[in-house]
């Protein structure tokens, strides 16, 4: 019998926490799902752990291993390509899901018209390696705020729509694939495309314990703790990661409304840093490219003024 939802897990050297992650999924109140794991040639015991779980839950868990290392973005791309259920949930290898995460996600998605691309995401509780709380709201800690209506500028820069909370429908899958060759963060692309052509559902209650440690792909404990100060050679946020090339492909691939095209081009101008510093500072206040917070923006303005052209 075909399942309603697939949980996708791209693993690599995740032996320390993968059991806790899998157990939290198996303990979900929503049961109409399967778990598909694709290991990226781990050199620890991750794959053998996955195989043990597959043997214990053969009707729920499928396990595959890549023939060559793909990296996290291509590994998730392959997982998404092969998914055939109505809904797809992305999963990290080291978090803890709250018991009703999938139930809430699916219920919220079911309210909407499934012929439209849809994406659900939620807040997270930030915890340390031993699951001790660091902060009860990832959104508040990082200064993220998500308007109910479409707002493409929040996805161009800061985003904050975390992949490990994402659940999206099959219709969105049709638009996000294939991933651009320059993509280095898969959830950034998924959130951006959905914001442009679909509908976002933001759930402001945490449904995941987001474990921070020094091997996180996106945000690790060192980044969380470290304070950075600008200097003359500062790399401003989102520069030097080829995001401008990605966004140019985004504009070429999709037919956007005129306002979204203008906003995207403004952010590309910031990335290239070819406009006057005055214009770039105006963008900070006119658009929501960056996190909320007066001191964050003040620091950013100082860095722009101080930066060499």
Q: Is residue 217 part of a domain?
A: no
Determine the Cα–Cα distance for residues 188 and 46; give it in Å rounded to an integer.
26
Last residue of a domain, one of 211, 241, 260: 211
Q: Answer yes or no: is 220 within a domain.
A: no
Single out the residue in 186, 211, 236 at which a domain terminates.
211
Check residue 219 and give its pLDDT.
52
pLDDT score, position 233 = 53
Query: Using N-to-C axis directions, what is the helix angle for 277-286 and 294-306, rounded to 10°?
Result: 170
Q: Does 277 lie in the same domain as 135?
A: no
The predicted structure's pLDDT at residue 180: 97
Cα torsion 68, 69, 74, 75 to 10°: value is: 90
Do residues 39 and 156 both lie within one domain? yes
Instruction: Show contacts of 50-57: CB within 8 Å, 24+ apart.
Output: 50/11, 50/18, 53/19, 53/22, 57/26
Q: Give the CA radius of gyration of the chain.
A: 20
Token pair listed for 270: 């910031």
Question: What's the pLDDT at 221?
Answer: 37
Same domain as 238, residue 175 = no
> Which residues in 142-180 are b (16+ Cβ under 10 Å) and which e?
bebebeeebbbbbbbbbbbbbbbbbbbbebbbeebeebb
What pLDDT was estimated at residue 55? 98
Query: How many separate helices (H) and strands (E) can be counted in the chain?
Result: 13, 9
In angstroms, what CA-CA distances link 196 with 61, 116, 177, 260, 300?
33, 12, 15, 8, 27
Distance between CA 121 and CA 201 in Å, rounded?
6
Query: Does one domain contain both 172 and 265?
Result: no
Q: For residue 221, is it within any domain? A: no
Based on the structure, what is the number of domains in the chain?
Answer: 2
267 within some domain: yes
Residue 15 and residue 130 in one domain: yes
Are residues 74 and 101 in contact, defined by beta-carbon separation less than 8 angstroms?
Answer: no
Question: Would you say 113 and 107 are in contact if contact means Cβ atoms under 8 Å apart?
Answer: no
Domain of 198 in residue numbering reads as 5-211
Are 45 and 143 found together in one domain? Answer: yes
Q: For the domain that residue 110 is a member of, what is the CATH number?
A: 3.90.550.10
User: Using an 8 Å Cβ cutoff, are 85 and 3 in contact?
Assistant: yes
pLDDT tens by residue, the chain, 309 residues: 789 999 999 999 999 999 999 999 999 999 999 999 999 999 999 999 999 999 999 999 999 999 999 999 999 999 999 999 999 999 999 999 999 999 999 999 999 998 999 999 999 999 999 999 999 999 999 989 899 999 999 999 988 999 999 999 999 999 999 999 999 999 999 999 999 999 999 999 999 999 998 665 555 434 433 444 444 456 789 988 999 999 999 999 999 999 999 999 999 999 999 889 999 999 988 999 987 777 888 888 999 998 876
Same domain, 59 and 138: yes
Residues 194 and 266 reside in one and the same domain? no
Q: Which helix (H) or strand (E) holds 24?
A: helix 18-26
CA distance linking residue 234 with residue 53, whole number of Å? 47
* 241/203 same-domain check: no
pTM, entire model: 0.92
C-alpha atoms less than 13 angstroms from C-alpha of 271 in its C-beta half-sphere: 20
């Amino acid at each position: 019998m075909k399942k309603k939802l697939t949980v996708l897990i791209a693993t690599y050297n995740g032996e320390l926490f993968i059991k806790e992650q899998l157990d939290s999924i198996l303990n979900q109140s929503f049961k109409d799902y399967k778990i598909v794991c694709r290991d990226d040639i781990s050199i620890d015991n991750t794959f053998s752990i996955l195989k043990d779980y597959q043997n214990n839950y053969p009707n729920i868990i499928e396990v595959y291993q890549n023939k060559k290392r793909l990296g996290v973005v291509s590994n998730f791309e392959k997982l998404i390509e092969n998914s055939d259920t109505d809904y797809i949930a992305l999963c990290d290898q080291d978090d803890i899901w709250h018991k009703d995460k999938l139930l809430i996600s699916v219920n919220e998605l079911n309210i909407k018209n499934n012929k439209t691309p849809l994406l659900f995401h939620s807040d997270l509780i930030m915890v340390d390696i031993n699951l001790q709380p660091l902060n009860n709201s990832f959104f508040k800690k990082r200064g993220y705020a998500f308007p109910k209506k479409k707002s493409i500028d929040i996805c161009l820069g800061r985003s904050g729509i975390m992949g490990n909370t994402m659940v999206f429908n099959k219709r969105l899958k049709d638009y996000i694939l294939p991933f651009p060759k320059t993509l280095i963060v898969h959830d950034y692309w998924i959130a951006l495309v959905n914001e442009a052509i679909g509908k976002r559902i933001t759930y402001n209650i945490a449904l995941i314990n987001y474990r921070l440690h020094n091997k996180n792909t996106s945000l690790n404990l060192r980044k969380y703790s470290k304070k950075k100060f600008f200097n003359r050679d500062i790399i401003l946020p989102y520069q030097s990661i080829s995001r401008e090339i990605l966004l140019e492909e985004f504009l070429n691939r999709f037919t956007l409304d005129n306002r979204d095209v203008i906003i995207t081009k403004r952010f590309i101008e910031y990335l290239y840093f070819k406009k006057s510093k005055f214009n770039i500072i105006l963008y900070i206040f006119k658009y929501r490219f960056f996190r909320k917070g007066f001191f964050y923006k003040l620091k950013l303005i100082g860095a722009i003024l101080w930066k060499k052209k």
